[in-house]
Amino acid sequence: MNINNPTANQDTHFFGDVCKNFDHAAQFTKHDAGLLDQIKSCNSVYRFRFPIRKGNGFEVIDAWRVEHSHHQSPTKGGIRYSEMVNEDEVMALAALMTYKCAIVNVPFGGAKGGIKINPKNYTVGELENITRRYTVELIKKNFIGPSIDVPAPDYGSGEREMSWIADTYATMNPGQLDALGAVTGKPIALHGIAGRREATGRGVAIAVRECVGVAEDMQKIGLTSGLSGKKVIVQGLGNVGYYSAKFLSEFGALIVGICEFEGAVYNEDGLDVEALFQHRKATGSVLGYAGAKQEFKNTMDGLEQPCDILVPAALENQITVENIRNIKAKIIAEGANGPTSPEAEAIFYQNGGMIIPDMYANAGGVTVSYFEWLKNLSHVAFGRINRRFEENSNLNLVNMVEGITGVALTPIQRSTIIKGASELELVNSGLEDTMIRSYHEIREIYKNNPKVETLRNAAMVGAINKIAVSYMNLGVWP
């Protein structure tokens, strides 16, 4: 039981699992115990309750905001709307955000928020009241601000909720020039950034592509290199799962299974992700989709079907000692936070598998949130200042080449070469570069230290070392 929340009835060991991974990786570093304890600990844990009007009465809402690390400012992390939220989970997710930001070289400390509700049980007006009151509570305690702590969407929240937060913060801080930088994941109309919605899923797909592109590593687990023809099962058809499946398919993979809470569908010859998504949107279920050859009312059965790559992109603790031996995938790419228990991971590696850890695999969201934050601070969209200059420079170059060679390009060729980069193209380019560089940083640690048994350990070792350098450079005051 969570002693800080006696009403919580779910297991509270997620933060403990994160700390186990930290402790295991820390033994491969050379930092003293006090510094390691500082890195591992949650710096600030704020639990609060507030009332809302519900019908003719009141309802009291439980909520949290955790700032795990202040080695970089601001702290950064999403807000989860779920009746399963508890303090242990929010602390764990905040810690993962710290390590995630370090792994992909994004200069934020980790944070996370949670509101203990099922959004389906509330009207839009009630959800707005809850979100705005939550924001005011954070403002009162100085737990939000563009240079303090910057929330973002998470499970159960999205652009709508981030708009309410942005408006509430700006209203409570009149005249603050950078007020919209207090939250990311906003819609484009409210100074969000192109590519943010699909960023986490795109990042997962790039992570998988980089992993399977290393022939040496694939040979060890019995796979050929490259994504072409690889069979993939995705758990979750929400934002992360849908875009992971979409981009993996575009990169050449075959999506053979989709699992959702109401059940799972499977077709060894491949599923049309977009058609399945529209079917679920129309019917409320993946079941009954005409393109499926097999259906499973128990969604967990869907995870155990034949495939090369499994992408759990739903909630934590989905792959455990109870089902890991039934998983037929050779690679697990963690689109969700904490979907694989430490015990299950050990068994999976012993059986010749490989896990692309959540701390890296789903870091696309915070990477593009960083870009959005930079956009809000600079008050100009990426590409707006230099795009036309680039196009004119490219045009001059094309004209010169045509004049020298005497060969005229077709209009399509000319437009392709001349075109300057849009904000979306720049964002996707920055995301891709970040995911590629970070994967090979992790792999170098994994490859060069035989005692580091997993990519997760390697990612954590790298994160600890980067955070330690920040803390040592900052010193201790007073």
Could you report the per-residue pLDDT of 359-379, keeping only the tens digit for each? Answer: 999 999 999 999 999 999 999
Domain boundary among 173, 190, 207: 190
**94 and 120 share a domain?**
yes
Query: Could you give the angle at which helices 14-26 and 455-474 cross, rounded to 10 degrees?
Result: 80
pLDDT in tens, the chain (478 residues): 333 333 333 456 889 988 988 999 999 999 999 999 999 999 999 999 999 998 889 999 999 999 999 999 999 999 999 999 999 999 999 999 999 999 999 999 999 999 999 999 999 999 999 999 999 999 999 999 999 999 999 989 999 999 999 999 999 999 999 999 999 999 999 999 999 999 999 999 999 999 999 999 999 999 999 999 999 999 999 899 999 999 999 999 999 999 999 999 999 999 999 999 999 999 999 999 999 999 999 999 999 999 999 999 988 889 999 999 999 999 999 999 889 988 999 999 999 999 999 999 999 999 999 999 999 999 999 999 988 989 999 999 999 999 999 999 999 999 989 998 999 999 999 999 999 999 999 999 999 998 999 999 999 999 999 999 999 999 988 7
128 and 230 inside one domain:
no
Task: Check whether residue 138 and residue 183 sit in a common domain.
Answer: yes
The residue segments making up the domain with residue 49 are 43-190
Residues annotated as binding site for substrate?
76, 100, 369
d(C-alpha 147, C-alpha 159), whole Å: 21
In whole angstroms, give the CA distance from residue 244 to residue 292. Answer: 19
* Domain-embedded: residue 368: no
Residue list for the binding site = 76, 100, 200, 239, 369
In the structure encoding, which two tokens stand for residue 396, read together?
């001059």
Domain boundary residue, one of 310, 330, 362: 362
Identify whether 311 is part of a domain. Answer: yes
- Please indicate, yes or no, whether residues 204 and 175 belong to a single structural domain of this protein: no
In a domain, 8, yes or no: no
Tell me the CB-side half-sphere exposure of residue 465, using CA atoms within 13 A.
15
Number of domains the chain is built from: 3
Report if residue 25 sits inside a domain: no
Q: What is the 8-class DSSP label of residue 410?
A: P
For residue 186, give the nearest of 207, 204, 168, 173 by alpha carbon: 168
Binding-site annotation, residues for NAD(+): 200, 239
- 112 assigned to active site: yes
Question: What count of Cα atoms within 13 Å lies in the side-chain half-sphere of residue 393?
Answer: 7
Question: Residue 342 maps to which CATH number?
Answer: 3.40.50.720
pLDDT tens profile 12-62: 688 998 898 899 999 999 999 999 999 999 999 999 999 999 888 999 999
Q: What is the pLDDT of residue 477?
A: 84
Are both 210 and 342 inside the same structural domain?
yes
**Do 233 and 303 belong to one domain?**
yes
Choose the final residue of a domain: 157, 190, 223: 190
Any residues with CB less than 8 A from the CB of 187 and at least 6 apart, and which? 159, 162, 163
Residues 171 and 208 in one domain: no
In-domain check, residue 6:
no
Quick count: other Cβ atoms within 10 Å of Cβ 249?
20
What torsion, rounded to 10 degrees, do the Cα atoms 164, 166, 168, 169 define?
A: 160
Tell me, rounded to whole angstroms, the distance of Cα 255 from its chain centroid.
20
Q: Tell me phi and psi for residue 257, to 5 degrees.
A: -150, 145
Same domain flag for 202 and 184: no
Q: What is the pTM for the complete model shown?
A: 0.91
In-domain check, residue 73: yes
Q: What is the CATH number of the domain that holds 145?
A: 3.40.50.10860
Same domain, 252 and 356: yes
Residue 21 falls inside a structural domain: no
Query: Do 357 and 213 sit in the same domain of this protein?
Result: yes
Of the residues 40, 112, 116, 186, only one is catalytic, namely 112
- Say if residue 287 is in the same domain as residue 425: no
- Whether residue 394 sits in one domain with residue 356: no
Contact 323, 300 (CB under 8 A): yes
- Note whether residue 340 is domain-resident: yes
